[in-house]
Chains A and B, each alone.
Chain A
Amino acid sequence: MTGSDSIGMEKLCYSINNRAILKDFDFLLERGVNRTILGVSGAGKTTILKLLLGLLKPQSGRVFFGDLCITGLRESQYREQRKRIAIVFQGGALFDSMTVGENVGYRLFEEGKLTQGEIEKVICEKLSFVGVERAINLYPSELSGGMKKRVAIARALAANPDYIFFDEPTTGLDPIGVYNICNLIQRLQAEGKTTLMVTHDLPTAFATSERFTFLHQARLIFEGNEQEMRNSDIPEVREFLHPTEQSLFV
């Protein structure tokens, strides 16, 4: 039932200090189906991404990459498979002790398979894809928020992943910045990357995803496409959409 090329979790329970963040949570991210996870702040959206990446260990249930169930494995046992997934963290999570260029080339330098010159070529290519090639020698502390996000995207791309997770990529950006990021994500999808977004910004979500998962009080309460979501009569979903609909039509 799980396609060999999908990522997901089954019957997963996760709690912190006896407070349930996720209860019996099922989730499936299929190759080629771009998805957004919605939910109020603090609902556990970031937690889902970290669980999918094996950065957090669930109390019960399982997480799988295709046929490989990573729950119960040591990190070293799924490190290779996880390289197919990249993530752009909420704050960018750029390494402060390295320049932008070193950040983007981090994995390539670590793997040591390419020569210095080849790595530099990849770095320039990825940075110009996101439009910040001029920042190559700056440190993360010298960048603006939007530039940090774009560099983080460039770093995620350098590894040439199949899946990219975005944790609130447009939060805290001005409209032009939001447009640019959305545009970038659409270009990545056109190149065949599958994206998983976490956001409370509905325009971004609708612009970049086909399927939506709505999280409320540790449970999945809605799964479907844009039309289904707009027509949904689940109170929490309506409440979430409603204020945004108003502000869209003024």
Chain B
Amino acid sequence: MNIAVIDKILIRFFSELQNYFALAGQTLIRLFIRPFYYREFAIQFDKLGFSSLFICVLTGLFTGMVMALQALIQLKPFAATSYVGGMVAATMVKELGPVLASMMVAGRVGSAITAELGTMVVTEQVDAMRVEGTDIIKRLVVPRLLALLLALPLLTVVTDAISLVGGYIMSAGYGINPTMYIKGIPQFMVFQDLIEGVTKPLFFALIVAMTGCYVGLNTKGGAEGVGASAKQAVVLSSVMILVTDFFLSKIFVAFR
């Protein structure tokens, strides 16, 4: 590989990055500018948020169960099984709840956003909207971002709560009663952890929505292009979620 090729790749990478942040910036500004598409927002909230409830419940349930299972095996030799609730809660609320819920939503909703917008681009519907005088960022991007900003923290809370139930289902088999289980929780957590648990999904919502919209609106080619874009959006947003999670955790640790 010679320098010219590397040069080209780097230039392309940075121009894409610049465009991505430009779109994100324009979208964030438009969050506060009227008119506001209430109907679009409601449709998207239902489509993107509410319909993801079921997979988040499943994710929470099984993650909680498996975490409790592993924790119980570890804690048993020390006769410390009563701490299981705390262990499940601490990891779920701070890390796994936000990350797993967001990854699920990235797979389900991110790809759907990209495919929908991508199809609108390749069938010239986006161009048609622009000619009709619509600001497409306001009409197409803002409602999706807002819907996810509201839905993802809620979905995370649901995932967390269900995982605690899942954890308890396993713990019951080890003779732990509900009071013991719940009493273990505050011993492992502080109030800041709850804030961390609902702040992270806000960032992840931004990632999923912006990546989905950016990749979708930049779709090229026909049906094949739409498929490629959908895949790209899911991979990109999943990786970005994991990387961002690390840095956010670092920041929260620093402020402890």
Chain A residues packing against B (C-beta within 8 Å): 50, 53, 55, 75-76, 79-80, 82-83, 85-87, 89-91, 93-96, 106-107, 110-112, 155, 159
Q: Of the candidates B125, B129, B131, which one forms a contact with A85 in the assembled complex, judged by CB atoms under 8 Å apart?
A: B131
Residues of B with Cβ closer than 8 Å to A? 35, 119, 123-125, 127-135
Given contacts A91-B123, A94-B125, contact A55 B130 (CB under 8 A): yes
In the complex, how many angstroms separate the beta carbon of A107 from the nearest chain B beta carbon? 5
**B133 and A110 form a contact (CB under 8 A):** yes
What B residues does A94 contact at CB under 8 A?
125, 128
Min Cβ gap B142→A in Å is 15
Q: Which chain A residue has the least Cβ–Cβ distance from B130? A: A55
Most A Cβ at <10 Å: residue of B128, B130, B134: B128
A116 to B119, CA, bound (A): 30
- Complex Cα distance, B214 from A120, in Å, reads 35
By beta carbon, the residue of chain A nearest B124 is A93
Q: Can you list 9 pairs linking A and B with CB atoms under 8 Å apart?
A: A55-B130, A76-B135, A79-B135, A93-B125, A95-B129, A107-B132, A111-B133, A112-B35, A155-B128
User: Of all chain A residues, which has the CB nearest B43?
Assistant: A97
Taking A55-B127, A110-B133 as known contacts, 18 extra A-B pairs with beta carbons closer than 8 A to each other, sorted by chain A number, are A75-B135, A80-B133, A82-B133, A83-B133, A87-B131, A90-B124, A91-B123, A91-B124, A93-B123, A93-B124, A94-B125, A94-B128, A95-B125, A96-B119, A96-B125, A107-B132, A110-B132, A159-B132
Q: In the complex, which residues of chain B have a beta carbon less than 8 angstroms from the beta carbon of A75? A: 130, 135
Chain A residues closer than 8 Å to B133, beta-carbon distance: 79-80, 82-83, 107, 110-111
Which of chain B's residues have a CB closer than 8 A to the CB of A112?
35
Contacts of B123 in A (CB 8 A): 91, 93
- A122 to chain B minimum Cβ distance, whole angstroms, is 14
Q: Which 7 pairs, one residue from A and one from B, show the smallest C-beta to C-beta distance?
A: A93-B124, A93-B128, A89-B124, A107-B132, A93-B125, A55-B127, A79-B133
Task: Please give, as numbers and ranges, the residues of chain A lying within 8 Å of B128 by CB-CB distance.
Answer: 87, 89, 93-95, 155
CB closest chain-B residue, reference A91:
B123
Do A55 and B131 touch (CB < 8 A)?
yes
Q: Which residues does chain B contribute within 8 Å of A96, judged by CB atoms? A: 119, 125
Provide the residues of chain B in CB contact with A89, threshold 8 Å.
124, 127-128
Residues in B with CB closer than 8 Å to A95 are: 125, 128-129
**What chain A residues lie within 8 Å of B119 (beta carbons)?**
96
Cα A225 to Cα B84 in complex, Å, equals: 86
CA distance A91 to B128 in the complex (A): 11
Whether the Cβ atoms of B134 and A110 lie closer than 8 Å is yes
Q: Is the Cβ of B134 less than 8 Å from the Cβ of A50? A: no
Chain B residues within 8 Å of A87, by CB: 128, 131
Contact between B124 and A82, CB atoms less than 8 A apart: no
- B130 contacts which chain A residues (CB < 8 A)? 55, 75
CB distance from B52 to the nearest CB of A (A): 19
B119 CB to nearest chain A CB (Å): 8
A155 to B123, CA, bound (A): 16
- A23 vs chain B, min Cβ distance (A): 23
Determine if A50 and B132 form an interchain contact, defined as CB atoms under 8 angstroms apart: no
Please indicate the chain A residues that have their CB under 8 angstroms from the CB of B35 in the complex: 112
The minimal Cβ–Cβ distance linking B7 to chain A, given in whole angstroms, is 15
For residue A50, which residues in chain B have a CB less than 8 angstroms away from its CB?
127
CB distance from B44 to the nearest CB of A (A): 11
- Which A residues are CB-close (under 8 A) to B127? 50, 53, 55, 89, 93
The CA of A155 and the CA of B129, in the complex, are separated in Å by 11
